[in-house]
Structure 1
Amino acid sequence: MSKIILLIYVFEQYMVSDHPKHSPDVSLPTDQNEEFSCVFRTRLGHHYLLYGAEMDGLKIDDKLTNTEEPINDAGKLKDLLEKGLAKFVELKSSADASINKREWSKICRFKSLRWWVQCYMGGIQEVVCGYRGEDGIIRSLQTFRVETLPQLGQGHWNPDVCLDYCSRFLDLVTNHVSNGPDEVIWSFIWNPQHPDNIEIGQVNKDSQYSFLHRWFTDEFKKNAKRKSDTSPSSLRESSDKSKAKVKIG
């Protein structure tokens, strides 16, 4: 693991605590395996999605800083979020953009897109970026509202294009998975050298990609309502669905 990645973990440790009334406990060793995740259910076009996302932290309303009640209970957390007393925050790190114009250009062109995609799908409202000096130490912080990130990347990327691409990719997935046998594991590979193509293949169920337990798939199949959707005409694919290259766009 690189030094920069380790420093990012330390940065996160200094930024969050286990309770709004407590200060961060920086005496504890960093644990890269520890995480807090939420499960989301949403709709994109005619697709219903269920997915998990790791959360870095919560910003708690000042009214709750004196409470002794634990807030890591799922029901309590949901109540706070619905009442607007808490919101998710994403922590990021970057080279100091105030003294490095190239770094600010990278944030506008590339990082703002990655931040927006991650936060938009996770319902995160703010990104707190820590700017590093040459020694790797965080020297300053800047908060970005997620809703303003598309303005930051204006002229470089468009959120509507991103959502449309995702929707058409899900059309592609639905077309293949719904027409294939239940025991088949499909792989969808995107190569940045050929950004308009997605390679589709079948994977052995004993491979590293077979991570779902049988009890889960049995229960899922019992309760799921399968929907059959035809792929849009803009998706051009080869006749061999076991291994095909598909162009989106």
Structure 2
Amino acid sequence: MDFSEQDVDIFGDDFGHGEEEEEDEQPRGGDDEEIGSPDSSGSSSASSSSSSSGSSSARSSSRSSSEGGNDDAGEAADSASGRVDDEDLEEEEGDLFGPDNEDYVRTPARSPFTVPVLPSIRITNNHTRGSFGRGRGGLLPRPGYPPRQNYGFGNKFSFGNGRHDERFVSELRLTKSEETLSRKSIQFQEPCELACYSRVEGGDVHFDDRSLRLFKRLVSEDVGADLNKGFASFVEKKDLGSDGFGDLLACIRNANIPLQNIHFVTFRNNLNKIMATAYIRNEPWKMGVHKRNGVVYLDVHKLPERPQSEIDRRRCYWGYAFENLATENSGEMGEDGKGIDANMEFCSVIKTKLGAHRVLMGAEMDCCDSTDDGRKFYVELKTSRELDRRTEERYEREKLLKFWIQSFLAGVPYIVVGYRNDAGILLRTERLRTTDITQRVKMKGYWQGGVCLAFADEVFCWLYGTLKDNEDYVLQFVHPFNRLELLRAQTSPEAINTHVATLSYS
């Protein structure tokens, strides 16, 4: 697991370059989704919406990259350390809409491209777990799984047919094959870190990087470790709701990041959900949508979850335990096993551009490493059940898609996966380059990163052109999973109200 003399290019040499322009939750530890086990629950999908973090120390150059239908994306520029001042935030003349932003705010509710489409369901005679149980009738229950009890599904969220709900505003239907989206080439600008903040033990937030952990390069030496250690005293992650979004907004204000030309402010977790929907159509989600002074704020909404069993909680904990094992400056675990608090976290505030849409996002980072010349880069830590011939396909179709989206959006070049058995024993570790993931699945035709970017571009065009200023909405993806629905909301989070009021007085 030696990172010396490794470049940190997240896009890869095989990817085409875009035009020169100036300028991401899976929760920490909660990504240990069970693959292929009949009693598995996939309980690890808690949101990373309450990610937190502080002032930044790393910055990327502003070279943009292009990702087309052949899953190509531009080569990332090298990172350099230093603060970003106001001059660095100005858009260059080559910007798609210019520095005054006037053209963008007149964005119609339709992209200039054809309507977004999702992949058609592939019919297969392979009835193993890797085929997802798909058939001509659509998604079938997975073998060994009890039927869902309306946790995230049902009338409470789908409102029957969305058009019958009095709050209904608009819908974006998703019906055809992926060929339309694969023909589009959407530029994605290399992420640039502007600030960061840290949440420490007790919940206090500091606008610095004191909670950022260092990657332990020799983590492979810990193979055989018991990830159950400390489970009895584990401090589980609290659901901060919109207060977590308020911490992100407070960091933006503290760093004096101008929002005049920003179109979307969000946690990366919301972008993960939107992009993954291009392929994963059986996972419901929702988010708050609030437009203020031309800026769209996307607030994470957590769907109700079914009650977790003991094994569900333990599998979730194994992810946190691996993170603790794979970082050098994590809390020391005593003889009694105490030491892991899921609420201590570091969040990077990143500016990027997807197509014409300028995005400011908060992204929780697991840890960082540095190159031999001192350039800092982030590393994602994941856990997974050990693979076998029955589970590898689903792993590559679904989990690697989520891994790639999460890392690509925030410019994270490496993912380190800890594979464990059903008893929570670490069996092996694997380092993945973010760019190599797309090459790995492209040969098998499972998914294309360019399709995910093109789909997100369509959603952003539809959203920005539909929303009215100073109004509040809920965006949701619900059963029968063939459309996105935009519903009117009656209230807005106090965190956003406070944020907008503070900006108006400054």
Same fold (TM over 0.5): yes
- 2:321 maps to a residue whose letter is V
Q: Which residue of 2 aligns with 1:205?
A: 491
1:13 aligns with 2:317: no
Q: CA deviation at 1:158?
A: 0.6
SS in 1 for 2:339: coil
Report the CA distance shift for 1:160/1:213 in structure 2 as closer, same or farther (over 3 A): closer
* Cα RMSD after superposing both structures: 2.2
- For 1:201 and 1:95, locate their aligned partners in 2 and report how far apart those are by CA, in whole Å: 38
SS of the aligned residue for 2:476 comes to strand
- Secondary structure in structure 1 of the residue aligned to 2:495: coil
Among 182, 191, 194, the residue aligned to 2:481: 194
| TM-score between both structures, scaled by the size of structure 2 | 0.36
1:146-161 matches, cutoff 5 A: 146-154=434-442, 155-161=445-451
Rounded Cα–Cα distance in structure 1 between residues aligned with 2:458 and 2:477: 14
Matches within 5 A, 1:17-56: 17-18=328-329, 25-27=332-334, 28-56=338-366
Point out where structure 2 has 5 or more consecutive residues left out of the alignment. Answer: 1-307
State the Cα deviation string for residues 179-236 of structure 1 (Å, max 9, x = none).
x241x221110126324x1011111216xxx25242312355689xxxxxxxxxxxxx
Aligned residue among 455, 461, 466 for 1:171: 461
Give distance in 1, aligned partners of 2:351 and 2:503: 15
The 1:152/1:189 distance shift into structure 2, 3 A limit, reads same
Corresponding position of 1:129: 417
Distance 1:143 1:192, change over 3 A: farther
Question: What SS does the aligned partner of 1:40 have?
Answer: strand
Deviations 1:56-78 (A, max 9, x none): 111234x5xxxxxxxxxxxxxxx
Q: For residues 95 and 163 of structure 1, do their structure 2 counterparts lie closer, same or farther at Cα, with a shift above 3 Å needed? A: same
Task: Select which of 102, 106, 113 maps to 2:401.
Answer: 113
| 1:185 is the counterpart of 2:460 | no
* Aligned twin of 1:76: none
Q: Distance in 2 between matches of 1:218 and 1:110?
A: 41
- Give aligned pairs, total: 190
Relative distance call for 1:36 and 1:199 in structure 2 (3 A) is: same
Kindly report structure 1 stretches of 4+ aligned residues shifted beyond 6 Å: none
Task: Quote how far apart the aligned CAs of 1:165 are.
Answer: 0.3
| Residue in 2 that maps onto 1:73 | none
CA contact (8 A) 1:36 1:56 kept: yes
On the 8 A contact 2:413/2:435 being kept in 1, the answer is: yes
The one-letter code matched in structure 2 to 1:26 is M
- Structure 1 residues 222 and 124, CA gap change in structure 2 (3 angstroms): farther
- Does the 8 Å contact 1:186/1:200 carry over to 2? yes
CA distance in 1, matches of 2:479, 2:370: 39
SS in 2 for 1:33: coil
The answer to whether the Cα contact below 8 Å between 1:37 and 1:53 also exists between their aligned partners in 2 is yes
Displacement after TM superposition at 1:87 (Å)? 1.2
Higher relative contact order (CA 8 A, sep 6+): 2
Q: Distance in 1 between matches of 2:369 and 2:434?
A: 14
1:181 to 1:139, Cα distance in 2 relative to 1, 3 A: same
The verdict on how the C-alpha distance between 1:163 and 1:29 changes in structure 2, with shifts beyond 3 A counting, is same
Of 142-151 and 211-220, deviating more is 211-220
For residues 214 and 172 of structure 1, the distance between their equivalents in structure 2, rounded to whole angstroms, comes to 24
Name the structure with the higher helix share.
1
Amino acid at match of 2:369: K
- The alpha carbon displacement at 1:129 in A equals 0.5
1:122-155 Cα distance to aligned partner (Å, 9 max, x none): 1111110000012111111001100011122221
* Equivalent pair of 1:129/1:142 in contact (CA under 8 Å): yes
Cα distance in 1 for residues equivalent to 2:318 and 2:495: 33
The residue type paired with residue 384 of structure 2 is S
SS in 1 for 2:430: strand
Query: Which amino acid in 1 is paired with 2:320?
Result: Y
AA of the residue aligned to 1:55: M
Amino acid in the other structure paired with 1:199: E
**Quick one: which amino acid aligns to residue 51 of structure 1?**
M
Contact 1:56–1:90 (8 Å) recurs in 2? yes
Partners of 1:86 and 1:192 in 2: CA distance: 42
Larger displacement relative to structure 2 (131-140 or 212-221): 212-221
- The two structures have a TM-score, normalised by structure 1, of 0.70
Alignment partner of 1:17: what SS?
coil
1:29: Cα distance to partner? 1.8
